[in-house]
């Protein structure tokens, strides 16, 4: 009887540890399985240190702690949408790879046109963790 309880306790602890350490949007990665073994997140390896994300998001559909950001939205055929880690200051962003808390208006092209917008309702000026453009 004790062995049965010990086995259940072990299984319960394993499940708690496994689910408690799930990677979040914005975490570093080298492969997609670093972000999710379920295949519901990908590793954007074009971002420094990798960036766990979800592609093709819609407004208010990103996991907790993330927001849907659309990049290069004009013309619309060039648009891409990604879940980006939410932040209120750069302290909320991953350290060591140059990520900062930015607003969409800070992602600008060569002609100072805005290249990003937050799609979540009422969050146009909300922050997300990204790398600033090279100066």
Close Cβ partners of 106 (under 8 Å, ≥ 6 residues apart): 132
Q: How far apart are CA 52 and CA 11, in angstroms?
A: 28
- In tens, the pLDDT along 54-91 reads 999 999 999 999 999 999 888 888 899 999 999 999 99
Q: Specify the pLDDT at position 9.
A: 40
- In tens, the pLDDT along 87-123 reads 999 999 998 889 999 998 888 776 667 788 899 877 6
Angle CA 121–35–96, to nearest 5: 85
Render the burial of 95-123: b for 16+ CB within 10 Å, e for the rest: eeeebbbbbbeebeeeeeeebbbbbbeeb
- In tens, the pLDDT along 16-35 reads 444 456 789 999 999 999 99
Q: Residues 43, 34: contact at Cβ < 8 Å? A: yes
Q: Residues, the chain, total? A: 135
Q: How distant, in Å, are the alpha carbons of 33, 49, 57 from that of 30?
A: 8, 7, 22
Q: How many CA atoms lie within 13 A of 17 on its CB side?
A: 6
Question: Confidence class of residue 46 from pLDDT cuts 50, 70 and 90?
Answer: very high
Handedness of CA 115, 109, 97, 35 (dihedral sign): positive
Q: Specify the pLDDT at position 83.
A: 97
């Amino acid at each position: 009887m004790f062995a049965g309880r010990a086995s259940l306790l072990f299984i319960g602890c394993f499940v708690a540890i496994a689910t408690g350490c799930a990677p979040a949007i914005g975490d570093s990665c080298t492969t997609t399985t670093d972000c999710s073994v379920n295949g519901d997140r990908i590793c954007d390896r074009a971002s420094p240190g990798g960036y766990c994300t979800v592609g093709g998001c819609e407004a208010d559909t990103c996991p907790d702690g993330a927001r849907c950001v659309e990049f290069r939205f004009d013309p619309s055929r060039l648009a891409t949408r990604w879940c980006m880690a939410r932040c209120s200051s750069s302290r909320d962003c991953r350290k060591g790879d140059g990520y900062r808390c930015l607003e969409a208006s800070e992602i600008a092209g060569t002609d100072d046109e805005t290249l990003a917008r937050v799609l979540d309702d009422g969050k146009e000026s909300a922050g997300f963790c990204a790398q600033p453009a090279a100066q």
